[in-house]
Amino acid sequence: LYTQVPQSLSIYLGGRYDQRVAERFPALNVGVMFRQWRFLVAAEGYLKRELEFKSTQYSFNVQLGVLVIPKWLMLAADVGMFRAHDFELPTGISAEFKDELKRLNDEFQFRAAAHLFVYRNVGVFSVLYRDRFVENYSFSGADRKERELRFAAQYRF
């Protein structure tokens, strides 16, 4: 958001079926975005069912934004997660592919940001805080917690 906006509501629904060398899956995604005055609320979700491995994976993200000072300052935050149920490995699968499957980890993330518009809506200075938790990270089996504070300046043309 850069300026105040009239009320709008967007809803989308999508789906697909994909077949690859070692997997088949249907997937579904849905999203909603609502904007009014100085506020933005967006939510999206994804669902995937692995047919070969009998596993379900899903994720979601919810974003909130408020334009505190039009053409000057926007605050935003979002929260999201990804979950993957255990896989049932079929017989005859290669060891290399088994290792790839082990890399799917459950994740949870929260972010908050302040965006300062220094030149119209194309020159932006941002401060972002990110808090991320990854369960059973990589092959170590230990959980991983990350925190990050980032400063970024951008100019779009």
Summarised one tens digit per residue, pLDDT across range 88-104 is 777 777 766 666 666 67
- pLDDT tens digit string along 27-68? 999 999 999 999 999 999 999 999 988 889 999 999 999 999
Q: Parallel, antiparallel, or unpaired: how do β-strands 39-50 and 55-69 relate?
A: antiparallel
Least confident of 18-27, 34-43, 126-135: 18-27
Contacts of 119 (CB under 8 A, 6+ apart): 155
Q: What are phi and psi of 123, to 5 degrees?
A: -105, 110
**Is-contact 100 81, C-beta < 8 A?**
no
**Is-contact 88 54, C-beta < 8 A?**
yes
**Is-contact 63 49, C-beta < 8 A?**
no
Residue (of 47, 42, 20, 19) closest to 31 by Cα position:
42
